[in-house]
Structure 1
Amino acid sequence: MDNLSSSDLKSILHSKRANMFYLEYCRVMQKDGRVLYLTETKNENQYFNIPIANTTVLLLGNGTSITQAAMRMLAQAGVLVGFSGGGGTPLYMANDAEQPIEWFTPQSEYRPTEYLQGWMSFWFDDQKRLEVAKTFQQARLTFLQKIWSKDRELTQEGFNIKDSGLLQAFERFEQRTEEATKQSDLLLTEAQLTKYLYKFASNAVQLQDFKRQHQSTDKANDFLNHGNYLAYGLAASTLWVLGIPHGFAVMHGKTRRGALVFDVADLIKDTIVLPWAFICAKDNDTEQEFRQQVLQAFTDHKVLDFMFDTVKEVALSYHKKTPQNKKVKSS
């Protein structure tokens, strides 16, 4: 077979890409025009192909290494690469060891400009930034209601969107979001809803005495951490494609360089990651089984499309179109 170059690959829109990979104890390399990972076993070495043209995010965990040639091909295919600890969390820093989210982003001179321009046209105005944060929060709730109402698996597991307590929590969330006068009000309202959803989910799967602890070792907390970092990968990919830097957050504050990643990831975390973390913990699934379930749910419910559409709609609603230059007749 003739060697392939990245220019030979068919372009797939990032919002339509199907794959996210978490790898550990292997070596990622370029071979015959493809990106492969090599696993070393006692009796033999095995190569596996990574379909980079259809991949959004590559997470490299414990015991991994990657070659310069492989990084070049991944960059040309627009794949985000992050180094993480075991199980995909925590995400170690690519550039700055003090920031909670950072990725190796492919470098290209041909990123779109209109989305960043639109974002900047409102971002320095506190009131406009608050309104965008409210838009994000409403979009987040609408997406949750839509997915939970039509997902039969979630319904069968006890996630009944018509539950009276749940409906009251949604109503409070919408009211307090509308009445918020600053970002801290929105963060408090968000935290209250998520806390209720934890309680609702733990009751649905009959998981007693659950408490959210990021450093905990129980499966529900581990799966929540793992799934959240997968959502961060999709959010980072969305922002990179649209050319919006991660520091221009609308919810999580102006002092955290990766905060906009959190804002965008929050659009889908409660909808997808939260319920499946509890369901898979109840079923005593492995980390790999949980990851496969969450990634399948991401694909089934087109979460990347939703992320892209939400961010683009907000940015373009503030983007000022410049008038076309008039032709000047030569004298």
Structure 2
Amino acid sequence: MENLTDLKAILHSKRANIFYLEKCRVMQKDGRVLYLTEERTEKQYWNIPIANTTVILLGTGTSITQAAMRMLTSAGVLVGFSGSGGTPLIAANEIEWLSPQSEYRPTEYIQGWMSFWFEEEKRLKVAKRFQQLRIEYLQNIWSKDRDLHSEGFFVDDVDIDQALAGFLTRIERSSNVTDLLLTEAQLTKTLYKIAANRTKQKDFIRDFDTVDDANAFLNHGNYLAYGLAATTLWVLGIPHGFAVMHGKTRRGALVFDVADLIKDTLILPWAFICAKEKATEQEFRQQCLQNFTKHKALDFMFNAVKQMSREGATL
């Protein structure tokens, strides 16, 4: 069996894999974590490279052994039980994960976070900075992603440029978190409209409970982003409850705050593109994971949270 050091040799910010599994049994066998599927004629085992994995979502018809959970914990892999298609996580309406237990994670980041968190004014400044980083990331990625360009998404198009510029202006003017949340919601709504127009999907309405492909893909992709955010916060030792924006409405809401750094950039446009192309759920998920790796999403999330931990008190 691999030792603990080997299992954590790959930094979380560099890991490439997220797994969504259904109708299988996850187990430990010969020092590896496998999942077992039962075909009509035989049972098949598939290896999970846990040292290069951040999150595992267990969907319908799954089970996991204690031995497998112990190995996943040793590798620092977060595990969540979800409904079909990766949504929702089975924990009412809250973001909950089975986090690996470790008393030896860094303390500097939670101490830095606490240095500003109890002061409402500083918390608002950090929330604004998160939104600015979110727009900077979108502008950077959309300006160079050729696949998005081929689908008609150009960051310097008038409608996109005006939406982002207006949002940046309103960020500065927001006097409290409620105003900032409303402003953020309006931006995302505008980006939905832009993406629907680019992909010629008329009369799109964002509804978490509808079954059309665009809405289903948005739900699924967002939960993948939540997995990355939860991993980032666990590794850095910051509890999910110390949010800067969503904290008044959701326990564990810092996961939402961190996930928002990448959702509009990497999930939103591809949910509409894949819906237009009649892609399968698996094809959409693969596109999201490819985007996470290609555009170093985890690196960006880690750096953003670490930066705010260091600088929050001085803003």
TM-score by length of 1: 0.93
Distance between the aligned counterparts of 2:126 and 2:263, measured in 1?
19
Structure 1 residue 165, shift from structure 2 partner: 1.5
Give the alignment partner of residue 205 of structure 1, picking from 183, 199, 210.
199
User: What SS does the aligned partner of 1:59 have?
Assistant: strand
Which has the larger displacement, 233-242 or 4-13? 4-13
Q: Does 1:31 align with 2:29?
A: yes
The answer for the alignment partner of 2:67 in structure 1 is: 69
**C-alpha spacing 1:259/1:21, structure 2 compared with 1 (3 Å):** same
Q: Does 1:310 align with 2:308?
A: no
Equivalent AA in structure 2 for residue 36 of structure 1? L
Q: Does 1:17 align with 2:11?
A: no
**C-alpha spacing 1:137/1:318, structure 2 compared with 1 (3 Å):** closer
Structure 1 residue 317, shift from structure 2 partner: 1.7
Distance between the aligned counterparts of 1:265 and 1:177, measured in 2?
18
Structure 1 residue 318, shift from structure 2 partner: 4.2
Distance between the aligned counterparts of 2:108 and 2:276, measured in 1?
45
Q: Aligned runs of 1:68-147 on 2, under 5 Å?
A: 68-93=66-91, 98-147=92-141
Give the alignment partner of residue 217 of structure 2, picking from 223, 236, 243.
223
Distance between the aligned counterparts of 1:211 and 1:114, measured in 2?
43
The answer for the alignment partner of 1:323 in structure 2 is: none
After the TM superposition, list the runs of 4 or more consecutive aligned residues in structure 1 that deviate by more than 3 angstroms: 3-10
The answer for the alignment partner of 1:329 in structure 2 is: none
Q: Does 1:271 align with 2:265?
A: yes
Please identify which structure carries the higher helix content.
Answer: 2
Distance between the aligned counterparts of 1:38 and 1:172, measured in 2?
51
Render the CA deviation track for 1:244-303: whole Å, top value 9, x for unaligned.
000000011245221000000000000000000000000000000000001000000000
The answer for the alignment partner of 1:168 in structure 2 is: 162
Q: How many residues align?
A: 314
Render the CA deviation track for 1:195-225: whole Å, top value 9, x for unaligned.
1100000000111111100001000000000
User: What SS does the aligned partner of 1:144 have?
Assistant: helix
Structure 1 residue 171, shift from structure 2 partner: 1.3
Contact kept, 8 Å, 2:50 with 2:72, in 1: the verdict is yes
Give the alignment partner of residue 243 of structure 1, picking from 211, 230, 237.
237
Equivalent AA in structure 2 for residue 212 of structure 1? R
Identity of matched residues, % = 70
**Cα RMSD (Å) of the superposition?**
1.2
Structure 1 residue 175, shift from structure 2 partner: 0.7
Contact kept, 8 Å, 2:126 with 2:312, in 1: the verdict is no
User: What SS does the aligned partner of 1:102 have?
Assistant: coil
